[in-house]
Amino acid sequence: MKILITGSSGFIGFSVAKKLLNQGHLVHGFDSMNNYYDVNLKKNRKKILDKYKNFSFSKGKVENNKSLSKSILKFKPDFIIHLAAQAGVRYSIEKPRIYLHSNIIGTYNVIELAKRVKVKHLLIASSSSVYGANKNLPFKEKDKTETQLSIYASTKKSTESIAHSYSNIWKLPITMLRFFTVYGPWGRPDMALFKFTKAILKNKKIDVFNKGKMYRDFTYIDDVVKSTELLINKIPKLNSKKKYKYDSISKVAPFRIVNIGNQSKIYLIDFIKTLEKELKIKPNKNLMPLQKGDVKLTLSSTNLLKQITGYKPKIKYKVGIKRFVKWYRSYYNV
Ligand SMILES: NC(=O)c1ccc[n+]([C@@H]2O[C@H](COP(=O)([O-])OP(=O)(O)OC[C@H]3O[C@@H](n4cnc5c(N)ncnc54)[C@H](O)[C@@H]3O)[C@@H](O)[C@H]2O)c1
């Protein structure tokens, strides 16, 4: 398969690309290599991908249609996995405009080009944050999502809407991947596990929001990679004979939304306790109020993912944290 991956130097993009390259597919990466977090981490991920003969790369911004179209029209992918985005709930309060450009204009450009080259399937990263203030747990794909709490979440919801209309008009097969708090080796320095590990190892205080009274559905990177990989060839079709329980988002377009989560409720405080055991250092905690724009609870229903792919994410957080710490210690030599 010829697969174009945007955000290929990012945490999830790199991990997905590596898996697909190992399977022998031709992968073209596209990434701006921006400095939202440590660029060296992105460069080191890319260095690993560069070793593969079946990998090629272009540097550019997805909102720059000229540079994006050059890559896509030249590579002519069969599939596109669009993961490039300005991520992070907190930063979207400071710099909302970046989110509108990268996530909305950028995603629009990807969708339009996917239509032009007639890809077999376009997969786009959305986020559990689109469930916003929803109270019915676990979150299911068919639930209404009207109450996003941050600009980051709103941009992700907007892309779902744009994608659906394109899929309807052009019958372009699209799957939106609603990821739930992904963590693991090569993870993102702006996310809790990375920040906590770094601070604890330096004997610095860690900020614990909502005084730790919140839970997340933490999803291990290998489960995310496996789920994404399996979904590539599960192309949504109109009038498919195969009916899935929650696959009722659209009756008019070959469009589908799938939660990629672990379907387990992990209290932040338990998550920190496990990390403490792993690092063998007791953290000093700054108990803080809930951050603006943040949600207190996330929990996915992964029934649809299971029905479509036969796969259910399974890595327990204690195992995942152990593997992360092992990677962190070896990567940073601590
Ligand atoms: N990690 C998670 O827990 C999580 C949860 C929900 C959704 N997501 C979504 O999954 C996708 C991948 O997330 P990630 O954790 O790998 O993030 P990441 O920041 O590590 O990766 C994103 C990559 O995209 C690149 N990028 C950013 N803006 C760009 C632009 N305008 N043009 C081109 N490249 C650009 C960055 O340089 C980076 O390498 C994102 O769309 C994110 O919103 C992630």
Give the model confidence (pLDDT) of 173-218 as tens digits.
999 999 999 999 999 999 999 999 999 999 999 999 999 999 999 9
Ligand 1 centroid to Cα of residue 115, in Å, is: 22
Rounded to whole angstroms, how far apart are CA atoms 95 and 117?
33
Q: What spacing in Å lies between the alpha carbon of 7 and ligand 1's midpoint?
A: 6
Whether 239 has a pLDDT exceeding 80, the answer reads no
Interstrand relation of 26-31 and 2-6 (parallel, antiparallel or unpaired): parallel
Cis before residue 96, ω within 30 degrees of 0?
no
CA-nearest residue, atom 20 of ligand 1: 10
Question: E-strand spans in 223-313?
Answer: 255-260, 266-267, 285-287
pLDDT score recorded for residue 232: 98
User: Mean pLDDT, to the nearest integer, of 77-85?
Assistant: 98
Nearest residue by C-alpha to atom 21 in ligand 1 = 10
Q: In this predicted model, what pLDDT tens digit does every residue of 252-276 receive, in sequence order? A: 899 999 999 999 999 999 999 999 9
Residue whose CA lies nearest to ligand 1 atom number 1 = 182
Answer yes or no: 332 catalytic. Answer: no
What band does 246 get if pLDDT is binned at 50, 70 and 90? low
In contact, 6 and 84? CB cutoff 8 Å = yes
Which residue is catalytic, options 152, 183, 215, 220? 152
Q: Which two tokens stand for residue 12?
A: 């999830």
C-alpha–C-alpha distance, residues 290 and 149, integer Å = 12
Over residues 79-99, mean pLDDT: 97
Distance from the CA of 84 to the center of ligand 1, in angstroms?
5
**Phi then psi for 318, rounded to 5 degrees?**
-65, -40
Lowest mean pLDDT among 73-82, 84-93, 246-255, 277-286: 246-255
Instruction: Give the gyration radius of the chain's Cα atoms.
Output: 19
Q: Going by C-beta distance under 8 Å and a sequence separation of 6 or more, which residues neighbour residue 222?
A: 15, 184, 315
Distance 125 CA to ligand 1 centre (A): 8
pTM for this structure? 0.98
Given a cut of 80, whether residue 323 has pLDDT beyond it is yes
Cα 121 from Cα 80, distance rounded (Å): 7
Class of domain 2-181+219-262+299-314: alpha beta
Q: Average pLDDT in the 106-131 region? A: 98
Return the ∠ at Cα 150 (arms to 144 and 156), rounded to 5°: 60
Ligand 1 site, CB within 6 A: 7, 9-13, 31-34, 42, 61-63, 83-87, 102, 106, 125, 127, 179, 181-182, 188
By most ligand atoms within 8 Å of CB, the mutation choice from 8, 32, 156 for ligand 1 is 32
Q: Looking at the DSSP assignment, which residues form a beta bridge with residue 300? A: 139
CA 196 – ligand 1 centroid, Å: 20
CA 324, 219, 188, 16 dihedral sign is: positive
% of the chain beyond a pLDDT of 90: 95
Q: 152, 296, 275, 264: which is closest to 206 by C-alpha?
A: 275
* Ligand 1 atom at minimum distance from 126 CA: 7
Q: Which of 5, 9, 12 to mutate to test the pocket of ligand 1 (most atoms within 8 A of CB)?
A: 12
Determine whether 159 is exposed, middle or buried from the number of CB atoms within 10 Å of its CB (0-12, 13-18, 19+).
buried
Closest ligand 1 atom to Cα of 61: 32
